Amino acid sequence: MDSDPAGRDGDQALADAMERAHDPARVLALSDGVFAIIITLLVLDVRVPELGQGQALADALREIRPSLTAFVISFILAGMYWVSHRDLFGQIRRTDRGLVWLNILYLLPLCLLPFAASLLGRHDRDPVALRIYGLTLVAIAVMRVAIWLYATNRTQLLWVRLDERQRRVGLALTLVPGIVYLVAIAVADVAPTVSLAIFAGLPVLYFLSITVLRRGSTGRREFVNFT
């Protein structure tokens, strides 16, 4: 006898519901919204300068230079984090409970970025401000590493299984920035200008590294998924 058609329909409906529940689209929608808010909040700390009695506009603009510098650095870093997040979720076919919560925890230090940038903009040579900014970036890097290791170690979540070389390259691109930020924190007391320069220079190093890796990746797949 044929099996029950109603039972088959019920099983298919349950399978479809499970697939929808694990669709990464809603995770991405939440993350993109948070990134958009973070980038918007960053610019709010850059204000049109008020001119004092007899003060030239050029002098007033120099006063907001630290805030503008902190905004530019943080904006580029936020862009890097969004691109990295997009690259990772381009590999992910479905989510699970662990990945959803790791992503939420990843957004936690990201949401502190506007606060840390505002602090740096007002006290750009203060070691405490530099350390808080650096610790925020380290926390973001730690969560990026955690998400990368979790997702790429579970082949059932991915469209295509990544080999060990691809996993190591992705891990290096997420881990190395965190190590560099620790160096910036370590030198904040003795060389605050160097610490600030490290924060400003790391995005440049990141883009150069990605460009070199992609140009030299003919016939090799491990670099093509990184933007």
77-132 tens-digit pLDDT: 999 999 999 999 999 999 999 999 999 999 999 999 999 999 999 999 999 999 99
Structure tokens at 3: 């099996």
Cα within 13 Å of Cα(148), Cβ side: 23
At 166 the pLDDT is: 85
Residues, the chain, total? 227
Burial class (CB in 10 A: 0-12, 13-18, 19+), 54: exposed
- With a cut of 90, say whether residue 20 has pLDDT above it: no
Q: Let me know: does 109 contact 78? Beta carbons within 8 Å.
A: no
| The amino acid at 137 | L
pLDDT of residue 213: 72
Q: List the beta bridge partners of residue 158.
A: 92
pLDDT in tens, 176-217: 999 999 999 999 999 999 999 999 999 888 888 777 777 765
Between 42-51, 74-83, 134-143, 172-181, the lowest mean confidence (pLDDT) is in 42-51
Report the C-alpha gap between 168 and 5 in whole angstroms.
48
State the Cα–Cα distance between residues 134 and 182, nearest whole angstrom: 7
Instruction: Please report which confidence band the pLDDT of residue 15 belongs to, taking 50, 70 and 90 as the band edges.
Output: very low
pTM for this entry: 0.85
Tokens 């004092």 belong to residue: 52
* Residue 162, SS3 per DSSP: coil
